[in-house]
Amino acid sequence: MRSVHRGRVVACFGKEWAVEDKSGRLVLAYPSVKCRELPCIGDLIEWESIDSQRGRILAVLPRITCLVRPGRNGKPRAAAANVDQVLIVIAPEPKFDLLLVDQYLVVGESQNIKPLLVVNKVDLLTDEARGCLLQELAPYRSSYPLLTVSAKTGEGIEALRSALKNQTSMFAGQSGVGKSSLLHVLIPNQAVRIGELSAITRRGRHTTTSARLFHLPDGGDLIDTPGVAIFGLAGIDPQQLARGYREFRSFIPQCRFADCQHASDLGCAVRHATETGAISLDRYQRYLKLLAKLPEIS
Ligand X SMILES: Nc1nc2c(ncn2[C@@H]2O[C@H](COP(=O)(O)OP(=O)(O)O)[C@@H](O)[C@H]2O)c(=O)[nH]1
Considering the complex, what minimum distance in angstroms separates the CB of residue 289 from Zn ion?
A: 16
Residue 76 near residue 229, CB atoms below 8 Å: no
Burial letters 172-186, b for 16+ CB under 10 A, else e: bbbeebbbeebbebb
151 binds, among Mg ion, ligand X, Zn ion, none (CB under 5 to 8 A by kind): ligand X
**Which amino acid is located at 146 in the chain?**
L
Cα Rg of the chain, angstroms: 21
Asked if 207 is part of the footprint of ligand X (rule: CB under 6 A), the reply reads no
Asked if 181 is part of the footprint of ligand X (rule: CB under 6 A), the reply reads yes
Considering the complex, what minimum distance in angstroms separates the CB of residue 273 from Zn ion?
A: 9
Q: Among 14-22, 72-80, 174-182, 262-270, which window interacts with ligand X (CB under 6 A)?
A: 174-182
Distance of alpha carbon 150 from alpha carbon 157, whole angstroms:
7
Q: Which residues bind Mg ion (CB under 5 A)?
A: 179-180
Asked if 148 is part of the footprint of ligand X (rule: CB under 6 A), the reply reads no
Closest residue to Mg ion using C-beta atoms: 180
63 binds, among ligand X, Mg ion, Zn ion, none (CB under 5 to 8 A by kind): none
Distance of alpha carbon 17 from alpha carbon 54, whole angstroms:
10
Considering the complex, what minimum distance in angstroms separates the CB of residue 189 from ligand X?
A: 18
Cβ-proximal residues to 122 (8 Å cutoff; 6+ apart), any chain: 92, 130, 148, 149, 150, 155, 156
CB of 179 or CB of 212, closer to Mg ion: 179
Asked if 176 is part of the footprint of ligand X (rule: CB under 6 A), the reply reads yes
Residue 105 near residue 286, CB atoms below 8 Å: no
Q: Among 13-21, 50-58, 170-178, 214-222, which window interacts with ligand X (CB under 6 A)?
A: 170-178
Considering the complex, what minimum distance in angstroms separates the CB of residue 254 from Zn ion?
A: 8
Q: Which residues bind Zn ion (CB under 5 A)?
A: 255, 260, 262, 268, 270
Residues in contact with ligand X, counted by CB under 6 A, come to a total of 14
Identify any residues that bridge with 78 across adjacent strands, giving them in sequence order.
68
Considering the complex, what minimum distance in angstroms separates the CB of residue 248 from Zn ion?
A: 8
CB atoms within 10 A of CB 75: 9
Distance of alpha carbon 197 from alpha carbon 19, whole angstroms:
10
Residues that bind ligand X in the complex, under the rule CB under 6 A: 120-121, 123-124, 150-152, 175-181
